A = this chain, B = another copy of it.
Protein backbone atom coordinates (compact mmCIF):
# COMPACT_ATOMS: atom_id res chain seq x y z
CA UNK A 1 0.00 0.00 0.00
CA UNK A 2 1.42 3.40 -0.92
CA UNK A 3 1.53 6.40 1.41
CA UNK A 4 -1.28 8.03 -0.61
CA UNK A 5 -3.58 5.02 -0.12
CA UNK A 6 -2.95 5.13 3.64
CA UNK A 7 -4.14 8.74 3.94
CA UNK A 8 -7.65 9.33 5.28
CA UNK A 9 -9.94 10.22 2.37
CA UNK A 10 -11.14 13.35 4.12
CA UNK A 11 -8.73 15.77 5.76
CA UNK A 12 -10.65 16.43 8.98
CA UNK A 13 -9.32 16.95 12.51
CA UNK A 14 -8.35 13.28 12.85
CA UNK A 15 -5.89 13.46 9.93
CA UNK A 16 -2.28 13.32 11.20
CA UNK A 17 -1.07 15.76 8.51
CA UNK A 18 -3.69 18.23 9.73
CA UNK A 19 -2.65 17.79 13.35
CA UNK A 20 0.94 18.65 12.45
CA UNK A 21 -0.17 21.52 10.21
CA UNK A 22 -2.04 23.05 13.14
CA UNK A 23 1.33 23.33 14.91
CA UNK A 24 3.71 24.37 12.16
CA UNK A 25 1.61 26.46 9.79
CA UNK A 26 2.19 29.82 11.50
CA UNK A 27 4.80 32.04 9.89
CA UNK A 28 8.26 31.50 11.49
CA UNK A 29 7.30 28.39 13.46
CA UNK A 30 9.32 25.89 11.41
CA UNK A 31 12.24 28.31 11.35
CA UNK A 32 12.34 28.56 15.14
CA UNK A 33 12.39 24.76 15.31
CA UNK A 34 15.13 24.71 12.66
CA UNK A 35 17.23 27.03 14.80
CA UNK A 36 16.74 25.01 17.98
CA UNK A 37 17.78 21.75 16.27
CA UNK A 38 21.31 23.13 16.66
CA UNK A 39 20.89 23.25 20.44
CA UNK A 40 19.71 25.54 23.22
CA UNK A 41 19.51 29.23 22.27
CA UNK A 42 18.85 32.54 23.98
CA UNK A 43 16.02 34.82 22.88
CA UNK A 44 18.54 37.32 21.48
CA UNK A 45 20.28 34.60 19.46
CA UNK A 46 16.99 33.51 17.90
CA UNK A 47 16.13 37.12 17.15
CA UNK A 48 19.45 37.59 15.34
CA UNK A 49 19.19 34.37 13.38
CA UNK A 50 15.58 34.77 12.23
CA UNK A 51 16.19 37.65 9.88
CA UNK A 52 13.09 39.88 9.88
CA UNK A 53 11.12 38.54 12.86
CA UNK A 54 9.93 41.05 15.47
CA UNK A 55 10.51 40.47 19.21
CA UNK A 56 6.72 40.46 19.68
CA UNK A 57 6.12 37.68 17.16
CA UNK A 58 9.10 35.64 18.41
CA UNK A 59 7.69 35.86 21.95
CA UNK A 60 4.25 34.73 20.75
CA UNK A 61 5.62 31.82 18.73
CA UNK A 62 7.86 30.61 21.56
CA UNK A 63 4.95 30.78 24.00
CA UNK A 64 2.78 28.77 21.59
CA UNK A 65 5.52 26.14 21.13
CA UNK A 66 5.98 25.96 24.92
CA UNK A 67 2.23 25.45 25.41
CA UNK A 68 2.28 22.66 22.84
CA UNK A 69 5.15 20.99 24.68
CA UNK A 70 7.57 21.35 21.78
CA UNK A 71 9.90 23.91 23.35
CA UNK A 72 11.21 24.06 26.90
CA UNK A 73 12.23 27.35 28.51
CA UNK A 74 14.89 27.50 31.20
CA UNK A 75 15.43 30.63 33.27
CA UNK A 76 18.88 30.71 34.86
CA UNK A 77 18.98 32.60 38.20
CA UNK A 78 21.79 34.95 37.30
CA UNK A 79 21.90 38.76 37.10
CA UNK A 80 20.59 39.74 34.61
CA UNK A 81 18.37 36.62 34.30
CA UNK A 82 19.33 34.39 31.38
CA UNK A 83 16.55 32.60 29.50
CA UNK A 84 17.28 29.78 27.10
CA UNK A 85 15.03 27.75 24.83
CA UNK A 86 15.48 24.20 23.67
CA UNK A 87 13.41 21.58 21.91
CA UNK A 88 11.64 19.00 24.05
CA UNK A 89 11.83 15.34 23.01
CA UNK A 90 8.52 15.88 21.22
CA UNK A 91 9.92 18.98 19.50
CA UNK A 92 12.91 16.97 18.29
CA UNK A 93 10.35 14.76 16.54
CA UNK A 94 9.86 17.53 13.99
CA UNK A 95 13.43 17.10 12.76
CA UNK A 96 12.35 14.91 9.82
CA UNK A 97 9.87 17.57 8.71
CA UNK A 98 12.65 20.19 8.75
CA UNK A 99 15.05 17.87 6.89
CA UNK A 100 12.42 17.25 4.18
CA UNK A 101 11.80 21.01 3.94
CA UNK A 102 15.52 21.63 3.63
CA UNK A 103 15.93 19.09 0.83
CA UNK A 104 12.96 20.49 -1.08
CA UNK A 105 14.18 24.07 -0.59
CA UNK A 106 17.54 23.28 -2.18
CA UNK A 107 15.79 23.16 -5.55
CA UNK A 108 13.87 26.40 -5.13
Contact with B along A20-60 (1 / 0, CB 8 A): 11011111111100110111000000001111000000000
A4–B37 CA distance with the chains assembled, in angstroms: 6
The one of B19, B30, B95 that contacts A105, using a Cβ cutoff of 8 Å: B19
Check if A79 is an interface residue, CB within 8 A of chain B.
no
Check if A102 is an interface residue, CB within 8 A of chain B.
yes
The one of B29, B38, B95, B104 that contacts A96, using a Cβ cutoff of 8 Å: B104
The one of B34, B35, B51, B101 that contacts A97, using a Cβ cutoff of 8 Å: B101
Check if B105 sits within 8 Å of A51, measured CB to CB.
no
State which residues 52-108 of A face B: CB under 8 Å. 90, 93-108
* A interface with B by C-beta (< 8 Å): 3-5, 7, 9-13, 15-21, 23-31, 34-35, 37-39, 48-51, 90, 93-108
Can you list 8 A-B contacts with CB-CB less than 8 angstroms, sorted by A residue number? A15-B31, A17-B105, A18-B31, A20-B102, A24-B101, A25-B25, A97-B100, A99-B100
